[in-house]
Structure 1
Amino acid sequence: MPDVRPARRVLLAGGLGAAAAAALPVPAYASAAEPVLLRLAGPAGPAPVGAVELHLVDRSRTDPWTDRPRELMATVAYPAVDVRDRPLLPWLPPGAERALKARYGGALDGYAFPWTHSADRAPARPGRRPVLLYSPGAASDRTFNTLVVEELVSWGYVVVTVDHPHDSGEVEFPDGRVVLSAGEGSTEAEVTAAVAVRAADLRFVLGSLAVLSRGGNPDAERRRLPRGLRAALDLSRVGAFGHSRGGAAAAALMDLDPGVRAGADLDGTVFGPVVGRGLDRPFLLMDTAVHDGLNKDPYWPEFWRNLRGWRRCLRLADAGHHSFTDLVALAPQLPPGPPLQVGTIAADRAVAAVRATVRAFFDLQLRGRPDTGHLLDGASRRHPEVGYVAG
């Protein structure tokens, strides 16, 4: 985040930002009759993308917001073998889309949200794939990093994106319920508690994937699973990454579960015991010049000192906090208005750089593939926007 004081960071950590939401104008051509279709670029890898949504219920935990069993929504995206005649999943399901538009006071009503490039329940490609978990920023949704997720899948990863009800922005369940964010918190204690819930969520999702890999169906409604998905999960090669608060959740998950072999935090302050304990496995930090995490963030320096495995801190030049998400690509398709924290970096350059960096990191750590393009050293000719800070 641009401002690293804990309370301020919490207030601005997710979504488009409150000021932008309140003042975003709607141009004359964006009418309800002919909404402007927002678009996201497809992945560049050789494999088409399949995906399935899961409704997961953890009956061993009580949701701190409801005193009921903790419920989650997750999407498992995977390399597919045949996507012909398969419907694509929307960027947000209808109820969540309506809720997001309501959150911004009608400013987005003249727009149709994008479709993903993920084919619903397409058969999975043969072969066991490394598994990555993704957690979004506070008040953001699991689909807000579709550009990076689909790119990773197209190059052979299974990526599981997770919504954290009451912390994520808009979470729609199969019965049509939409759970909204309860607020991003205003104290360090509140945010630390929210990150701990997220880490427990991610750990439960890992357990649900283990059930799936053994032939079970963890979906609460027992909806049909894609053919071949069970055999596609290599749970001996698991990584985690996230944006903003989701990056903190990735670090906290690694602190809980030694089976998670590598993690990445995209511009998020780290909270909780992992700051002092550190990690003995590879971890990537990536920030912006405004954040300048190792100098200005209240927790990155201590966390950095306690990282005992492979470590790297990289920086995305001319970027804002949301340059790591789909918002960097959607912002140019919206009319001029308040800044959306995407910096001055060109959208296509930001998308390409973040996609390539996250892929290079997990290729190295989970697949043993060397970083021949020196991207993780901040010396890539192809992606000069990625700079080296420390290692």
Structure 2
Amino acid sequence: MQLYPLSWRVALSFLAVVTIAILAGAWFVLFPTPQFPAPIGPLGIGTRVYSWIDSSRAEPFTPNAGDHRAITVQIWFPTAAEGKVQRYIEQPAVLAAVAARLHIPPFLLGRLQSAPTHAIRNAPPKAGRYPVLINPTGFSGFHAANLFWIEALVSHGYVVVTVDQPGTAAAATLEDGRVLASADKTMFDRYMPLALSSSRDQTPVMNGVSLPGGIIPFLAADMSFVLDRLAVPDAIDDELAAILDLDRVGIFGMSLGGYIGPEACRTDRRFKACVAVDAGKTATTADTGLAQPLMIISRDADVMREERSKAGGWAEEEIEHTISSQRRLYENNAGDAYFVTMNGMYHVNWTDAPIWTPLVGWLGLAGPIDPYDGFSVTNTCTLSFFDRYLRGALSANICPERDPNVTRLEVRQARHP
């Protein structure tokens, strides 16, 4: 058979097809559909979304004096139903914010947007009375950014309420329908405990709204507002209200959520137990401790410096503040206290981000631990802690102490049992 040279048009067409194939293959590799870990408990998961207005408080993250605090929550609860699953990200504004954090165009994250969770949208709840866990998101996060954590807890019989807070969530909807992106980080940091520690003004003002103690006490007040609304009969559906055991309430969160949780526990005794992950603390909370049981999960300063060398962030003063305030809270806690050190983890390992795209690991944003191993240990520690203090499961071991991914497990008994 004789082969003839390709014409230039055919050659260019062939090259275009090859290029498209290569790019398509790269897209599948770099931006696959995330495979969220299967829930480890026996119960199915349902979910519903609610929006509430706190007319008693002004909104500090907008310049409009007439704006009030608008809180969106997603409630995840046990169900026995089957049906249409909840997609991971449904708001385009959230997808755009996630893409901006990764410095990529949003269309590349199409599979992230459409990825199926294990939750059934608007499912009927399974009859029973379940402890309630509040979960404030991290800065620029969204209400499903810790799906590995949420679904594991719900599958074991907890109701989890994830909270989008205006100014800190990736995209929060205000009462008039406007979508508010998270605040500029440099501006936001001026109201955080680290900045206040070197400032004479302990009551800064943001857009005319006074913030005694900075932004963390204000954000912690959102958690109390959420508890208030859960107790109001017409705030949620009657069948969902019937399964909430508001005498057994805990709170858990990482990053900014790890700041907010202990602060909420200090100011509101309705919270009975607290898990705080990889975050500093306000001076008042660190120095007085909590009356409630506490679990801190974090890593050593050298691991934070290692993360900084690979991916940036974690200024030395921030590392010192985070480590020292965590340690002070642990030492000063009046309730039982646990300090779990996981040195294979970087900050984003306590979110779903390591399974969004392999770029997260390649760029040094995730630690050396296998992401699913990190999820598993975090879930085991959190579940055993809440089982002990919200369900009275005193025989439960707190954390897999001999797990190779747990560097240290420290325990302090309550000062006043």
TM-score for the superposition, normalised by structure 1: 0.81
2:291 maps to 280
Residue 138 of structure 2 corresponds to 137
Which residue matches 1:88? 86
Spell out, residue by residue over 1:260-299, the C-alpha distance to the aligned partner (whole angstroms, 9 max, x if none).
1000111111125212221111000011132598997242
- How many residues align? The count is 348
DSSP 3-state at the match of 2:242: helix
Secondary structure at the counterpart of residue 118 of structure 1:
strand
Superposition map of 1:190-269 within 5 A: 190-192=191-193, 193-211=214-232, 215-217=233-235, 225=237, 228-269=239-280
Aligned to 2:386: 362
The structural deviation recorded for 1:37 is: 2.3
| In 2, Cα distance between equivalents of 1:336 and 1:297 | 24
Structure 2 regions of 5+ residues with no counterpart? Answer: 1-21, 194-213, 306-318, 412-417
Equivalent residue number for residue 3 of structure 1: none
**What amino acid does structure 2 have at the position aligned with 1:71?**
A
* CA drift at 1:101: 2.4
Structure 2 Cα separation of the partners of residues 346 and 287 of structure 1: 17
Q: Which has the higher contact order (CA 8 A, sep 6+)?
A: 1
Q: CA deviation at 1:302?
A: 2.4
Aligned positions of 1:5-154 closer than 5 A: 29=25, 36-66=32-62, 67=65, 68-82=67-81, 84-107=82-105, 109-111=107-109, 112-113=111-112, 114-154=115-155
Query: Contact 2:118 / 2:151 at 8 angstroms: preserved in 1?
Result: yes
| Cα distance between partner residues in 1 of 2:293 and 2:398 | 16
How far apart in 2 are the matches of 1:245 and 1:31? Answer: 32
Counterpart secondary structure, 2:282: coil
Query: Within the alignment, does 1:388 sit opposite 2:399 as a pair?
Result: no
Match for residue 5 of structure 1?
none
In 2, Cα distance between equivalents of 1:54 and 1:296: 33
2:363 — aligned with what? Answer: 338
Residues 60 and 187 (structure 1), Cα distance of their counterparts in 2 relative to 1, 3 Å cut:
closer
The 8 Å contact of residues 46 and 120 in structure 2, kept in 1 or not, is answered as yes
Equivalent AA in structure 2 for residue 58 of structure 1 = D
C-alpha separation between the residues in 1 aligned to 2:93 and 2:144? 14
Change (3 A) 1:185 1:251: farther
SS where residue 296 of structure 2 aligns? strand
1:123–1:313 distance in 2 versus 1, CA, 3 Å: same
Q: Which residue type is aligned with residue 381 of structure 2? A: T
- Is 1:306 the counterpart of 2:327? The answer is no
Q: Which runs of 5+ in 1 are unaligned?
A: 1-25, 219-224
Alpha-carbon distance in 2 for matches of 1:183, 1:27: 34
Corresponding position of 2:201 = none
The letter of the residue matching 1:309 is: G
Q: Structure 1 350/136 Cα, relative in aligned 2: closer, same or farther at 3 Å?
A: same
CA drift of 1:355 comes to 1.0
Deviation at 1:350, TM superposition (A): 0.7
8 Å Cα contact 2:266/2:291 also seen in 1 = no
- The amino acid of 2:282's aligned partner reads F
In structure 2, C-alpha distance between the alignment counterparts of 1:75 and 1:267, rounded to whole Å: 23
Q: Distance in 2 between matches of 1:52 and 1:359?
A: 22
Looking at secondary structure, tell me which structure has more helix per residue.
2
Q: Report deviation, 1:106.
A: 3.0
Aligned Cα RMSD in Å?
2.8
Kindly state the Cα deviation for residue 163 of structure 1 after the two structures are TM-superposed: 1.0
Given the two structures, how large is their TM-score scaled by the length of structure 2?
0.76
- How many percent of aligned residue pairs carry the same amino acid? 27
Larger radius of gyration: 2
- Give deviations 1:86-108, integer Å, cap 9, x for gaps: 34243343332134324544345
Q: Distance in 2 between matches of 1:310 and 1:336?
A: 35
Cα drift, residue 368 of structure 1: 1.0
Give, in angstroms, the shift of residue 314 of structure 1.
0.6
Q: Aligned pair in 2 of structure 1 residues 181, 157: CA closer, same or farther (>3 Å)? A: same
Once residues 205 and 345 of structure 1 are traced to their aligned partners in structure 2, the CA distance between those partners, rounded to angstroms, is 35
Q: 1:94 to 1:175 in 2, by over 3 A?
A: farther
- Equivalent pair of 2:330/2:338 in contact (CA under 8 Å): no
